[in-house]
Amino acid sequence: MAIRERLSGNEAVAIAMRQINPDVMAAFPITPSTEIPQYFSTFVANGQVDTEFVPVESEHSAMSACVGSEAAGARTLTATSSCGLALMWEELYIAASCRLPIALACVNRALSGPININCDHSDSMGARDSGWIQIYSENNQEAYDNFVQAFRIAEHKDVRLPIMICQDGFITSHAVENISLLEDDVVKNFVGEYNPEEYLLNQDHSMAVGPYDIPAYYMEHKKQQAVAMENAKQVILDIAAEFEKISGRKYGLFETYKLDDAECALVIINSAAGTAKDAVDKLRAEGKKVGLLKIRVFRPFPAEEIAEALKNVKAIAVMDRCEGFSSQGGPLGAEVKSALYTAGATSKVVDYVYGIGGRDVRVENIEEVYNALFDILETGNVGETYRYLSLRD
């Protein structure tokens, strides 16, 4: 029986963690981290989990402790946000290259500076090349559901990579909304026990983790890591299919909304996708053929599938809640355009930087984007391909 609740995104993820009952959580317990370790430490104090909670003095140490604990053979997770993730940078790469299936709850917030605590995707987008699987969530429900699936994906023998489950800072992390929770034993059975084949505390099979890698083998090890990331795509789909059986909720690599016959479409990530769906319905009621594609899995990037889903769309706006300073748009724009080019697509594509530093995104703002796409179709002129949405004059 599903449990009807109302929770903030932070509470929802903390409950998923309680239900998973990991061996270790290492986390920095104050800002810039989130309320997630705070809620989770309550579960530890109340004896609701058997987790060893390691409060560390920095996020650099948080990820270092996660690396050590996961290498020892313990199922390990953490949570962070913004500059906290930035301070983990060095160890993110180590976790991925050591093939340690750590799970991280990332609450997406701006990086300094100027100093800003609000939502955008600069933190996790900056970590996109670190070798972590990245899955994004529109609302508290998706953040919870994605976290429940996280370890099954990360620990899979064809993958063995760390995973980051992202949701929008404040907009979903601090908003209380309805949610449907799974029962504790259902999650426990779904996630299962962690039995790593290789681990440091295995006295029958000693091993080294993270030694120096010489040029003669470094590339081969990186290639193995890249293959693992490619393998993750199918594993993510398989785990989603299993998850649907216990939850009734369907997940893929991305979600399409009214895209089948759409002439104009958005590609968008996280909470603004919900706002954009309301805009789609409004414009559809006016007879305009619009739709959207919401990214769920950003790493590995489902390039071929996205190009296929967008193949009949004439004009596309890729929405980047992050500035990439490439002078061409943000990271999502670059990925989507690369996918479309490789597939030989001829759609008109523009990239919008929007909502950074917490700039509010309204239904009207999204309508403005669709209307700009129809202008491109009417005039045949793409104009500026690198745009800012809702920028003050």
Partner 1 sequence: MSNVLEIRWHGRGGQGAKTAALLLADVAFNTGKYVQGFPEYGPERMGAPITAYNRISDTHIRVHSNIYDPQYVVVVDETLLEAVDVTNGLRKDGAIIINSAKSPEELRPLLKGYEGKVYTIDARKISVAALGKYFPNSPMLAAIVKVTGIMDDESFLNEMEGSYKHKFASKPEVIEGNMKALRMSLQEVK
- CA nearest 269: which of 177, 352, 379? 352
Question: 60 or 174: whose CB is closer to partner 1?
Answer: 174
Q: What is the DSSP string of 185-199?
A: HHHHHHH-----SS-
175 binds partner 1 (CB under 8 A): yes
For the CB of residue 362, give the shortest distance to partner 1 in the complex, in Å.
4
Question: 70 or 168: whose CB is closer to partner 1?
Answer: 168
Question: 168 or 335: whose CB is closer to partner 1?
Answer: 168
For the CB of residue 35, give the shortest distance to partner 1 in the complex, in Å.
13
Q: What is the DSSP string of 67-124?
A: HHHHHHT--EEEEEEHHHHHHTHHHHHHHHHTT---EEEEEE-PPSSS---S--SHHH
| Interface pick for partner 1 out of 177, 184, 368, 375 (rule CB under 8 A) | 177
Strands 348-353 and 315-320: parallel
Question: 213 or 278: whose CB is closer to partner 1?
Answer: 278
Question: 92 or 265: whose CB is closer to partner 1?
Answer: 265
| Beta carbons of 264 and 374 less than 8 angstroms apart | yes
19 binds partner 1 (CB under 8 A): no
For the CB of residue 275, give the shortest distance to partner 1 in the complex, in Å.
5
Q: Which residue has the tokens 């594993």?
A: 235
Binding mask 46-75 for partner 1 (x = CB under 8 A): ------------------------------
| Interface pick for partner 1 out of 34, 76, 82, 172 (rule CB under 8 A) | 172
For the CB of residue 34, give the shortest distance to partner 1 in the complex, in Å.
13
How remote is the C-alpha of 89 from its chain's centroid?
16
Binding mask 113-152 for partner 1 (x = CB under 8 A): ----xx--------------------x-------------
Question: 7 or 372: whose CB is closer to partner 1?
Answer: 7
CB neighbours of residue 373 within 10 Å = 24
170 binds partner 1 (CB under 8 A): yes
Question: 171 or 235: whose CB is closer to partner 1?
Answer: 171
Question: 17 or 179: whose CB is closer to partner 1?
Answer: 179
| Beta carbons of 280 and 260 less than 8 angstroms apart | no
97 binds partner 1 (CB under 8 A): no
| Beta carbons of 348 and 380 less than 8 angstroms apart | no
| Interface pick for partner 1 out of 22, 274, 291, 302 (rule CB under 8 A) | 274
Q: Report d(CA 24, CA 114) in Å as an integer.
A: 34
| Beta carbons of 160 and 191 less than 8 angstroms apart | no
271 binds partner 1 (CB under 8 A): yes
Give the SS3 label for residue 2.
coil
Give the SS3 label for residue 246.
helix
For the segment 326-365, give every residue that binds partner 1 (CB under 8 A).
358, 360-363
| Beta carbons of 107 and 37 less than 8 angstroms apart | no
Side chain identity at residue 336, one-letter code: V
Strands 290-295 and 52-55: unpaired
The one segment of 42-50, 63-71, 183-191, 275-283 that binds partner 1 by CB under 8 A: 275-283
Q: Report d(CA 104, CA 106) in Å as an integer.
A: 6
The one segment of 93-101, 216-224, 267-275, 321-329 that binds partner 1 by CB under 8 A: 267-275
Question: 179 or 349: whose CB is closer to partner 1?
Answer: 179
Question: 61 or 270: whose CB is closer to partner 1?
Answer: 270
For the CB of residue 6, give the shortest distance to partner 1 in the complex, in Å.
4
| Beta carbons of 117 and 109 less than 8 angstroms apart | yes
Q: Report d(CA 128, CA 122) in Å as an integer.
A: 10
Q: Report d(CA 177, CA 264) in Å as an integer.
A: 30
Q: Report d(CA 71, CA 73) in Å as an integer.
A: 5
* Through-space distance between the first and last CA atoms of the chain, rounded to whole angstroms: 52
For the CB of residue 347, give the shortest distance to partner 1 in the complex, in Å.
26
Residues binding partner 1: what is the number (CB under 8 A)?
Answer: 24
Question: 4 or 245: whose CB is closer to partner 1?
Answer: 4
Question: What is the binding site for partner 1 (CB under 8 A)?
Answer: 6, 117-118, 139, 168, 170-172, 174-178, 271-272, 274-275, 277-278, 358, 360-363
